[in-house]
Structure 1
């Protein structure tokens, strides 16, 4: 048995298909496509020094790693690595080699602190702790049955508020960027983010292959977007909320519920059967909203941190 690690290339179609398959086997609550992986490989921000790695066992891809630097954080030197192994091929060295390769790459580009999401299972947590990582925050994967579940009735927007689709902003999406930047800066997490590069946002968010602009819903008031619920889909049966946020001056008015409910109703009408989302365990307001919709927690993961040097 020989295990090796190498970079995934955007022109390696069969490797990308296996990369997607392994990620799905290890983490079925997220979804990817060949197009989304190619997009992320070829359109990543240069300051992120991001890579996608694959581990091969006797020539077959059995593990993956997504690594890079948090280039949009005000604190330099923060890196991330998320490693996933085919559940049928764990304990054979692929994970250890992926972590070592990722750490070397990130350290060579100035990383001083590394963050890794780890599924909240004893074996995975022990693997991280043996390598010097300490547990930080927790997050949940939630799933809602769109095909047979019951959604709350559609709500009428309050006076002065209009619900629109992101597609309505195709000619000028900058107001959505402005709103996204404000909400991201307030999102709970270990790594603070500052969105200040509009062109990078266009590339990485607005033109992402999984983004559905018709299902992404926006609340507009005072002539500008004030709340939104971003939607990704696999183009077949699964829908995922990528982000839901409200401008600070408009919080506490139920607008997050309003836009997310509108998006979920549109997704069900379009034939999507499952709705997925993720929630920071400390984000009580969003957890309450998702419980109101009927989402159920299916799995959890823990953020692990390691200081280098």
Structure 2
């Protein structure tokens, strides 16, 4: 009887292409599933509108219930920072009140069918460890765990940078500056930052090889996105050379929270306390400008960065699991 009911429920589901009118519905689903990681329709649409569709694929579908309302969404896309033409990220989200009705399965099978036209060979997806039912659902479909990343949060209301005064300043020969200041001084600041980002990123623990994102798309995100805040991106300089950085981005949905991008230092400058000091500078800025919390994500294999965050007072949350599926075995 249960199987028959599930089959009837699934038969009542319709899958169609995503339309702009669907943004409020998919945001509601996301915010119900992840109430600590809110988003807005404006943020979601900005990301889609500024996606470089000439180079990267992104496909979105929605599932409709019997009454025509959106009860789930699914998507797959290339990953610009680890690009391979046949490797894709997949994301499926189902409204809590429509789960266990075959919505996720219908979306998954629909996306898989379309992926065949791109000769896809591998998939990546992400599940929070605390979402045990979702993890089991993913694993039943042949996904294997590849890596874990801690989410960590710092409460700025209780953060006291004075405890780290001996390590607060840049080491000898190094100075710190915000991207906002550098944009006024250096016409090539964005290109130099882009090159620095791509020099550091390959050294981070990762599953797939790093590839540089399209420069125009990256620039748009850094300067013009809803999360842009050039005053909160700090650079370590040796003369005019950028040798380290830490990035913070805003959120429209959570205006009192900042999200960490990349923090790192060129290999030949490591071991001098630059990463700790520049991150401390960014946290001082965040607290002085009225933000309540800073969040960051680090691979469980990134012992150096995890050590810095723990010393600064970040508190670990439930980790995120990266799953992968080899489609060549399908």
TM-score (norm 1): 0.89
3-state SS of paired residue (1:306): strand
Q: Which has the higher strand share?
A: 1
Q: Which has the higher helix share?
A: 2
Tell me the residue number matched to 1:91: 100
3-state SS of paired residue (1:299): coil
CA pair 66-266 structure 1, distance change in 2 beyond 3 A: farther
CA pair 116-21 structure 1, distance change in 2 beyond 3 A: same
Between the aligned partners of 2:248 and 2:75, the Cα distance in structure 1 is 22
Superposed, which structure 2 residues align to 1:57-206 within 5 Å? 57=65, 58-73=67-82, 75-120=84-129, 121-151=131-161, 152-153=163-164, 155-170=168-183, 171-172=187-188, 173-195=190-212, 197-206=214-223
Give, in angstroms, the shift of residue 60 of structure 1.
Answer: 3.3
Tell me the residue number matched to 2:229: 212
Q: Higher mean Cα deviation, 246-255 or 65-74?
A: 65-74
Aligned residues: 306
Superposed, which structure 2 residues align to 1:280-295 within 5 Å? 280-295=299-314
Superposed, which structure 2 residues align to 1:290-305 within 5 Å? 290-305=309-324
Mapped contact 2:80–2:211 kept (Cα < 8 A): no
3-state SS of paired residue (1:259): helix
Mapped contact 2:63–2:72 kept (Cα < 8 A): yes
CA pair 62-196 structure 1, distance change in 2 beyond 3 A: closer
Tell me the residue number matched to 1:39: 46
Between the aligned partners of 2:281 and 2:35, the Cα distance in structure 1 is 25
Mapped contact 1:69–1:111 kept (Cα < 8 A): no
CA pair 253-289 structure 1, distance change in 2 beyond 3 A: same
CA-atom RMSD in angstroms: 2.3
Between the aligned partners of 2:160 and 2:28, the Cα distance in structure 1 is 31
Mapped contact 1:79–1:113 kept (Cα < 8 A): yes
Give, in angstroms, the shift of residue 113 of structure 1.
Answer: 0.6
Between the aligned partners of 2:74 and 2:280, the Cα distance in structure 1 is 34
Do structure 1's residue 26 and structure 2's residue 39 form an aligned pair?
A: no
Between the aligned partners of 1:59 and 1:293, the Cα distance in structure 2 is 49
CA pair 232-7 structure 1, distance change in 2 beyond 3 A: farther
Give, in angstroms, the shift of residue 65 of structure 1.
Answer: 3.4
Mapped contact 2:27–2:41 kept (Cα < 8 A): yes
3-state SS of paired residue (2:199): helix
Give, in angstroms, the shift of residue 224 of structure 1.
Answer: 1.7
CA pair 183-86 structure 1, distance change in 2 beyond 3 A: farther
Between the aligned partners of 1:247 and 1:85, the Cα distance in structure 2 is 42
Q: Max radius of gyration: which structure?
A: 2
Q: List alignment gaps of at least 5 residues for structure 2.
A: 1-8
* Deviation per residue, 1:127-185 (Å, 9 max, x gap): 01111111211112211111234445461111221111111233431110011111122
Give, in angstroms, the shift of residue 302 of structure 1.
Answer: 1.3
Mapped contact 2:196–2:243 kept (Cα < 8 A): yes
